[in-house]
Amino acid sequence: MEQDVAIVTEGLTKCYSKKSVVNNLDLEVMRGQVFGFLGPNGAGKTTTIRMLLGLVKPTAGKIQILGHNLFSNREMIAKKVGAIVETPAFYSYMTGRENLKVLMQSSNISASSKRIDYLLEMVGLKGREKEPVKQYSLGMKQRLGIAATLLSEPEILFLDEPTNGLDPAGTVEMRSLIINLSQQNYTIFLSSHLLNEVELMCTDVVIIQKGEKRLQGKMKELLAQGKEFAIEATPASLAIAVLENYCQTSITVDANGWIVFKAEHFEVPTILRLLIEKGVQIYQVQERRNSLEKLFLELTGQPSESFATVKMEVSLS
Amino acid sequence: MTTMNLLHAELLKARKQQINIFLVLIITFVAVFFHGWLVIAAKVNPSYIKDAEVFLPYYNSLNLSVKVISFFSSIIAIVFVANSVGGEYSQDTWKMILPRYGSRIKFITTKLIVGLLAMILLYLLGVTSWLALSAFSYWLLDLNPPPQVLLTLKNGLPVSNSLKTLVLEMFSMSFYGSLTLLATIGARSFPGGILGGSVSSLLMTTATIIPSKYVSLSLPSLHIANLSAQWMQNKKEIEAVAMAFRGNVSMSVSLVIVLAYITCFIITALLLFQKRDMAGH
Ligand SMILES: Nc1ncnc2c1ncn2[C@@H]1O[C@H](COP(=O)(O)OP(=O)(O)O)[C@@H](O)[C@H]1O
Ligand SMILES: [Mg+2]
């Protein structure tokens, strides 16, 4: 059992001038999981990651990585962990390739051109590796960051808001890179303030708010609770009556006139047939995949406006 | 050796940093300017041939190059260390590099070793290129080897003097380097390190005038001057230092005091670095 656990924290706490930023946080991440660490800006995600990397000392609490105490096995753990913390930081006066070389040697591994070439290829920077990093776009730096995390062939990757600040194309590239990695048996600790991002990529999730854990679970199970669909239909009143009768719950209408109801995936054809038989005209059907946001709302009793959910993306995905 | 990797990484960084390239360029510029000026002056006005005959033979050239580089040495040490450590703060690269090391102390130690190596390399590079330029100018001006060459070689004085100066300079650079290390880690920035390093060296120089035996005895810069004066057996300097100290201080006492300062600076810097959070800005 012990060997299957990648990261464990117990009562992890960090205070800055008496104010707690991370409070009594218990986490358990199993090997091979893509673990979503979700929380609004300022929730304490980066501080937690900095503690897990030994950059920031916890005020209290224990950290175990791959079964070893972080504080007494720093050097041993260092090689098994790769990380991007907040915005990517590189030596801007060196080329992408030189940066990878320096970082690889800093892990106390001989620089291997083969490994560096392979990683440059993988993150799509082949051909640009001889340019100084100061000429790179944020997206390129972020991808170089991913290559850097993989230099020492680690087991755990910490990715702190890897799509933050990227344009839509960069975001898509970065996400497909991460999904690619998640299929290669890395344990990925992904922090994000984007609900749909975590929903898209993670197998497990913890939601934190103001430094405290609010929710934890398997993504599938969490999403299975209260899946929602929306239809564009006329006449609306008839549709709502039919749906209320079928679902036995109240039906809502969103700002754009979509009628939203809760149902299991397999029930949808039945519901649609029923609506049509009763004379409702259906123009469009959508699966509403923002259920994490709903969960968060139900959990905290407050709207998660601080979560920047990109509605467009949600409905597209 | 596994630590060779760490050294390689730091050396590559040092080599690519513009400010270090600038330091090398300054020394190169002084060397080229000096020799260029001497050759042109001697070609235009033969009365300068005498100067060329004094400055260009290798033993004088060696002495002069060591003196010139030594003139910049404390600035070089301060700028190099402040940049090497402070540069990691300004671009927040600590967060990339420290999780790889595991041990913070190992990291700073590597930086210090590379700093010392870089200083030695800079001296070697500066001195050899200066000597090469002198030989080339010598050839350009078609001078005859003066008889003193053999004389001084036999006595062996100038060369050993230059070597002594080199050792003394390395020692004083270690002092300024460790002082700057502490300042940089204390201020967590490159400008802070430069400012701290240079202001405290300036303070030490001005404090020499404070008429108190205890103040002057506690000044590391005076002890460095004392070591230099006594080892080089420079009578004038020995007297000047003795006057500042209000008495004679032996070389070993000065050595121990400066070493104690260096050790204190480095240990305090390491403890501070070890203890502090790397929480970004
Ligand atoms: N070095 C620090 N000193 C004081 N407060 C800090 C420091 N670092 C972070 N904080 C505070 O801790 C809180 C959590 O920050 P952070 O971990 O960066 O959140 P997140 O990554 O979830 O956006 C914020 O309110 C931030 O202002
Ligand atoms: Mg953050």
- Spell out which chain A residues touch chain B, with contact meaning CB-CB distance below 8 angstroms: 46-47, 50, 53-57, 74-79, 81, 83, 85-86, 89-94, 98, 101-103, 105-111, 148, 152
CATH number at residue A279: 3.30.70.100
Segment B109-132 mean pLDDT: 91
Cβ separation of A78 and B99 shorter than 8 Å? yes
Q: Output the six-digit token pair for A220.
A: 């599938």
In a domain, B76, yes or no: yes
A150 with A239, same domain? no
* Nearest one of A21, A135, A160, A18 to A81, comparing CA atoms: A160
pLDDT at B150: 47
Residue B280 lies in a domain: no
Instruction: Name which residue sits closest to atom 8 of ligand 1, judged by CA.
Output: B279
Asked if the model's pLDDT at residue A80 lies above 90, the reply is yes
Residues A231 and A197 both lie in one domain: no
Look up residue B57 and give its amino acid: P
Same domain for A156 and A264: no
- Count of domains in chain B? 1
Identify the band that residue A306 occupies on the pLDDT scale cut at 50, 70 and 90: very low
Q: What is the arithmetic mean of pLDDT over A232-237?
A: 92
Token pair for residue A259?
A: 């009628």
Assess if residue A315 is contained within a domain: no
Same-domain status, A191 and A284 = no
Tokens of A136: 């790179």
pLDDT of residue A144: 96
- Is residue A317 a part of any domain in this protein? no
B5: contact with A, CB 8 A cutoff: yes
Burial of A286 (0-12, 13-18, 19+ CB in 10 A): middle
Q: Are residues A39 and A145 in the same domain?
A: yes
Where do runs of H (alpha helix) occur along chain B? Answer: 3-16, 18-44, 49-55, 58-90, 94-101, 104-141, 148-155, 157-187, 190-207, 213-217, 220-231, 235-245, 251-275
Within 8 A by CB and 6+ apart from B228, the residues are: B168, B234, B237
Q: Do A34 and A67 have their domain in common?
A: yes
Kind of pairing between the strands at A34-38 and A60-65: unpaired
Please report the pLDDT score of residue B239 as a whole number: 93
Assign A236 to helix, strand or coil: helix
ipTM computed for the complex: 0.87
Q: So what's the pLDDT on residue A50? A: 96
Contact in structure between B115 and B197 (CB atoms under 8 Å): no
- Using CA atoms, how far residue A119 sits from A107, A136, A154, A188, B231, in Å, is 16, 17, 13, 17, 56
pLDDT number for residue B274: 92
How does pLDDT run across A135-183, given as a tens digit for each residue?
999 999 999 999 999 999 999 999 999 999 899 999 999 999 999 999 9
| Residue partners of A291: CB distance under 8 A and separation at least 6 | A222, A223, A225, A226, A227, A228
Q: How many domains does chain A have?
A: 2
% chain B with pLDDT above 70: 94
Among chain A residues, the shortest Cα distance to B21 is held by A93
What pLDDT, on the 0 to 100 scale, is given for residue A157? 97
pLDDT at B265 (0 to 100): 97
Q: What is the pLDDT of residue A314?
A: 35
C-alpha–C-alpha distance, residues A245 and A248, integer Å: 6
Question: Residue A49's pLDDT band (boundaries 50, 70, 90)?
Answer: very high
pLDDT of B159 > 80? The answer is: no
pLDDT-based confidence at A258, cuts 50/70/90? Answer: very high
Residues in chain B closer than 8 A to A47 (CB atoms): 279
Clarify whether residues A54 and A118 are in a common domain: yes
Are A200 and A154 members of one domain? yes
What pLDDT is stored for residue A312 in this prediction?
34
State the pLDDT confidence band at B208, using cuts at 50, 70 and 90: confident
Amino acid A317: pLDDT: 32
Binary contact (B101, A54; C-beta < 8 A): no
Quote the pLDDT of residue A316. Answer: 32
Q: Kindly state whether residues A115 and A232 are assigned to the same domain.
A: no
Asked if the Cβ–Cβ distance from B91 to A90 is below 8 Å, we say yes
Domain assignment present for residue A165? The answer is yes
Co-location of A143 and A242 in the same domain: no
Mutation site, A106, A146, A158, A189, interface B, largest B CB count within 10 A: A106
Residue A301's pLDDT is: 60
- The Cα of B83 is separated from the nearest Cα of chain A by a number of Å equal to 12
Q: Does A239 have pLDDT greater than 90?
A: yes
pLDDT, one tens digit per residue, over A268-302 is 999 999 999 999 999 999 887 655 666 666 665 65
- pLDDT (tens digit, 9 = 90+) per residue, B48-91? 888 888 888 877 888 888 889 888 889 999 999 999 999 999 88
Rounded Cα gap, residues A102 and A107, in angstroms: 9
Does residue A311 fall inside a structural domain? Answer: no
Summarize the confidence of residues B225-234 as an average pLDDT. Answer: 92
pLDDT at A291: 59
Is there a single domain that holds both residue A208 and residue A233? no
Ligand 1 shell residues, CB under 6 Å:
A 16, 21, 39, 41-47; B 279
Q: Is residue A184 pLDDT above 70, yes or no?
A: yes
pLDDT the model gives residue B62: 84
Q: What is the pLDDT of residue A287?
A: 84
Our CA-based measurement puts residue B123 at a distance from the nearest CA of chain A, in whole angstroms, of 25
User: How high is the pLDDT of residue B190?
Assistant: 95
Kindly give the residue spans of alpha helices, DSSP state H, lying in chain A. Answer: 45-52, 74-78, 96-106, 113-122, 138-149, 168-182, 195-201, 219-224, 236-247, 268-277, 291-300, 311-316
pLDDT at B152: 53
Report yes or no on A295 lying in a domain: no
Q: Which domain holds residue A259?
A: 226-289
* Nearest atom in ligand 1 to A44's CA: 17
Q: Does residue B281 form part of some domain?
A: no
Mean pLDDT (chain B) is 88
Q: What's the gap between Cα A275 and its chain centre?
A: 37
Residue-number span of the structural domain to which B265 is assigned: 2-144+152-275
Answer yes or no: is B137 within a domain. Answer: yes
